[in-house]
């Protein structure tokens, strides 16, 4: 992965976490075992899945963290790369 692409994804994640409102939390946020290594959240568009994930990252890891990153798998970068590519880049 190009450095610029990686930093764009990291900056996008930091911006989205910073900007998410904590005023209203989704009811499912306390029903998910956030300690699982992989969590899949399925549902219709516009039902709050992304908001819930961003709120969790903000609450658990804070605004200045290097432990969590939010990426959307519909990002065009994933058309030619896998999540494994992202993980490998993140661990370097």
Give SS3 for 34: coil
Angle at CA 78, nearest 5°, toward 77 and 80? 80
Listed residue (57, 75, 59, 78) closest to 67, CA to CA: 57
1 pLDDT above the threshold of 70: no
Cβ contact 58:20 at 8 Å: yes
3 pLDDT above the threshold of 80: no
Task: Report which of residues 75 and 90 the model is more confident about.
Answer: 75
Q: CB-based contacts of 49: which residues, under 8 Å, 6+ apart?
A: 41, 42, 43
Q: How confident is the model at residue 23 (pLDDT cuts 50, 70, 90)?
A: very high
Mean pLDDT of 12-40: 91
Query: What is the model's pTM?
Result: 0.82
């Amino acid at each position: 992965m190009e450095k610029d692409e990686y930093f764009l994804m990291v900056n996008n994640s930091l911006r989205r976490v910073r900007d998410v409102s904590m005023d209203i939390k989704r009811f499912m946020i306390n029903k998910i075992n956030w300690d699982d290594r992989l969590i899949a959240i399925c549902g219709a568009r516009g039902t709050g899945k992304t908001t819930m994930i961003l709120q969790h990252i903000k609450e658990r890891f804070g605004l200045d963290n290097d432990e969590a990153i939010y990426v959307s798998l519909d990002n065009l970068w994933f058309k030619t790369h896998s999540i494994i590519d992202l993980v490998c880049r993140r661990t370097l």
